[in-house]
Amino acid sequence: MKISVIVPAYNEAERITSVLEALDEAETPDELIVVDDGSTDGTPEAVEECGIDLTLLQLKRNTGKANALARGVEEATHSTLMFIDADLKGLKSEHIDEMIRTYRNGGWDMVIGVFHKGRLNTDISQKISPHLSGQRIIPLEIWESLDKSAAEEFGVEMALTKLSLRENLSTTKVKLTGVTHVMKEEKRGFAQGIKSRLKMYGNIIKTTLTPTNLNR
């Protein structure tokens, strides 16, 4: 079983290098793809300067995480996919290896990495809503059965979670001890961050109530 790791990135020049270094030091990923989603802060330059063997895709404009992941999947050469966010703090190679070992040895349809003892705010958020985690391993066929319009509207994580519930997929969580991420309020400023967070919570409610079309 070979694994393609896809890292979507938008304006993560200050953070992405440490994420890529953790992936590069891990034992098990076979392919690393970074999709720069129209960044304006030098993210692609930071990726190129890190000196890691990877594929860098540069989108001309910001199109959203769902589309960035879709472009990465198109480029991937392996049938098992791992999604890792570019804004993680505290990610280490052992986190990556533990997620992959769990997937390979447990026969799961989906493995989700959740923050644990990284930072109080993000720990609480993922205890309440572990389905919001962007750290996932899935087979290609699950991605292909995903409703892409729902992923664009509500977020990839929510769309994958709803698909998992509807199809009764076997799912497990792996604790990513010491890992957290940069919150929306820190990236975009307090007012814009709160607005984005409220929109996210609204999408959670809408996703829960909206049927998922599995044929798209």
* Cα 142 to Cα 160: distance, rounded to the nearest angstrom: 8
Q: Is residue 21 part of a domain?
A: yes
* Owner of token pair 């440490």: 18
Residue predicted with more confidence, 210 or 31: 31
The pairing of beta strand 55-59 with beta strand 110-116: unpaired
Query: What pLDDT band is residue 192 in, cutting at 50, 70 and 90?
Result: low
Residue predicted with more confidence, 29 or 55: 55
* pLDDT over 70 at 215, yes or no: no
**CA distances to 71, 76, 148, 149, 159 from 214, in Å:** 20, 22, 9, 11, 10
Q: Give the CATH number of the domain where residue 173 resides.
A: 3.90.550.10
Give the structural domain span for 118: 3-209
* pLDDT tens-digit series, residues 146-182: 988 878 877 898 899 889 989 999 999 999 999 998 8
Residue 181 has a pLDDT of: 85
Q: Is residue 107 part of a domain?
A: yes
* Cα 151 to Cα 6: distance, rounded to the nearest angstrom: 16
How many folded domains does the chain comprise?
A: 1
Query: What pLDDT band is residue 41 in, cutting at 50, 70 and 90?
Result: very high
* Cα 112 to Cα 110: distance, rounded to the nearest angstrom: 7
Which DSSP letter does residue 91 get? -
Q: What are phi and psi of 94, to 5 degrees?
A: -65, -25
Q: Is residue 216 part of a domain?
A: no
Helical segments of the chain, H only: 16-25, 43-49, 65-75, 93-106, 120-128, 140-145, 148-154, 156-167, 184-188, 190-209
Q: Is residue 22 part of a domain?
A: yes
SS3 at position 216:
coil
